[in-house]
Structure 1
Amino acid sequence: MLDAARAEFVERGYEATSVRGVARRAGVDPGTVRHWFADKSRLFTASLGMADVDPSVVVRAVVDGPVDRLGERLVRAVVEAWDADAGDTVRLVVPAVISDPGLRALLPQFLGAAVLGPIVRRLDVADARLRSSLVASQMAGVLMTRYLVPVEPLASQEPARVAALVGPTLQRYLVGELPG
C-alpha cells in the first residue's frame, strides 16, 4: 500500500490523490487503506517513512489557544514532534525528499493542504500563501540547524526555549504587518 501511495502522490500530486486511487493501485479495498491510515495526510506521511507523524495533531496543538501565541505553539509542536525520535526521522526523510524531484514537488502541496493551510485559514489573513511560505522557510531553517547540520546551542535547546526564541518571528509572519 505504501509503494502504491507514494507512486500515486508522485504522479497525481497531493491534492489529486485519493484513498480510492491508492487502493486501486495497490489491489486492495479502500476500507483496507482506511483501516491502516486514518486519512490522506497519515497515508502521505507513512509513505515517506514517517508513520508516527500525525499532521492533524500538530495542527490541533497549534490552533487550540489564543491567536497571539500561535507562532510559539507552532514551533513547539513541530520541534516536539521531531524530537520524539531525537530527529532521526528528519535526518532520513529530508534528504530523501530533496533528492527525489517528485517528492520535492509534493512537499509544498502537503504542507499547504494538511499543516499550514488549516492554520492560516483560521486567521483569515491577506497574503495567506506568502505567509505560509515565510513560516515554512523559517521552520525549514530550524529543522536544518537542529537536526541535519546541528548548530549549537540551538540544536540542544529544549523545545519550549526554541519556541520562545523563534515563535515571535513566526507570529509576525502569520498575523503581523508585512512590508509592502
Structure 2
Amino acid sequence: MRGRSGRRRGAPDTKGEILAAARAVFGERGYDGASVRAIAAAAGVDPALVHHYFGTKEKLFLAAMEIPWDPALIADAIADDSTGVGVGERAIRTFLSVWEQPAGRGPILALLRSAMQHETAALLLRQFVTRAILGRALVAFQGVPDGALRAEAMVSHLIGLAIVRYVVKLEPLASVSDEELVRLVAPVLQRYHDGPFEPGE
C-alpha cells in the first residue's frame, strides 16, 4: 500500500531546504516577485511551515542572505525623534552601529559587491532597500515637502558612503573615526530632511 503523498510537515533539514529555495526564488524573481507560497513550493513544504520558521518574507530574505540585522530596527531608530538629535545624526549613527560590527558587515558587503556586478543582485538590493528600509524611514519625513525624494536621497547617500568606506576603502574616508564621520556627514543628511529645495517643473 502506498504511503500518503504531499508536502512535508517538517524534517531535520527542512529549514535549510527552505533557505536554499528562498535564495533561488529571490534570485529568479527579485524581492518583490518572490512570494512565500512560491518559495514553499520550491522547497516542497507547506507555506505555513515557512511562516513557522521565519515569520515573514522580509525575515526569510534576511536569513537567506545571511544578513544578521533587522532593517525595521534601523528604520525605527532613524524615525525616532524622541532622542533630542536631528534625523541626520540619527541616520549616520544608526548606519555606523551596523557597519562597524564585523558580523553585520560581511553579508551586506557581499550583497553590495554582487549588486555592483550583477543586475539580479542589484534588483534584490534595490527592492529590499525600498520596501524594508526606505518605506519605514519615510515616517521621519512625514509632512516634509518632497519627503519621498528627500528620504531616498538620504538613503542613497548612506549606500554610497558604505561602498566608498567599506568596499572600495578609499582613504582617508575609510579610516576616519566614527565621531569625525558623524560631524562631517550628519549636517549633510540633515539637509536632505529640511534643507531648501526647489523641484523643477
Shorter-chain TM-score range: 0.7 to 0.9
Correspondence 1:100-115 to 2 at 5 A: 100-115=118-133
Match of 1:61 in 2: 77
What CA distance in whole angstroms lies between the structure 1 residues aligned with 2:46 and 2:177? 44
Q: Deviations over 1:27-69 (max 9, x none)?
A: 223343234334322222332232x121112112211224861
What CA distance in whole angstroms lies between the structure 2 residues aligned with 1:25 and 1:175? 46
Aligned length: 179
Q: Deviations over 1:140-179 (max 9, x none)?
A: 2211221112233332334344233212212211333224
Compare CA radii of gyration and give the structure with the larger one: 2
8 Å CA contact 1:90, 1:147 repeated in 2: no
What CA distance in whole angstroms lies between the structure 2 residues aligned with 1:76 and 1:36? 32
1:130 corresponds to which of 144, 149, 152: 149
**Percentage identity across paired residues of the two chains:** 36
Match of 2:14 in 1: none
Which secondary structure does the structure 1 equivalent of 2:69 belong to?
Answer: coil
Aligned CA RMSD, in angstroms, stands at 2.5
Q: Quick check: 124-133 or 110-119, which moved more?
A: 124-133
Match of 2:94 in 1: 77
Cα deviation, residue 85, structure 1: 0.7
TM-score by length of 2: 0.75
Match of 2:32 in 1: 15
8 Å CA contact 1:72, 1:163 repeated in 2: yes
8 Å CA contact 2:112, 2:163 repeated in 1: no
Using a 3 Å threshold, how does the CA distance of structure 1 residues 54 and 26 change in structure 2: closer, same or farther? same
1:169 corresponds to which of 183, 188, 195: 188
8 Å CA contact 2:165, 2:173 repeated in 1: yes
Which residue identity is paired with 2:97?
E
Instruction: State whether structure 2 residue 172 is matched by structure 1 residue 153.
Output: yes
Q: Deviations over 1:80-121 (max 9, x none)?
A: 212111743343221122222122122222111110121124
8 Å CA contact 1:120, 1:174 repeated in 2: no
Which secondary structure does the structure 2 equivalent of 1:178 belong to?
Answer: coil
| Highest RCO, 1 vs 2 (Cα 8 Å, sep ≥ 6) | 1
Match of 1:42 in 2: 59
Using a 3 Å threshold, how does the CA distance of structure 1 residues 24 and 134 change in structure 2: closer, same or farther? same
Gaps of 5+ in 2: 1-17
What CA distance in whole angstroms lies between the structure 2 residues aligned with 1:172 and 1:138? 12
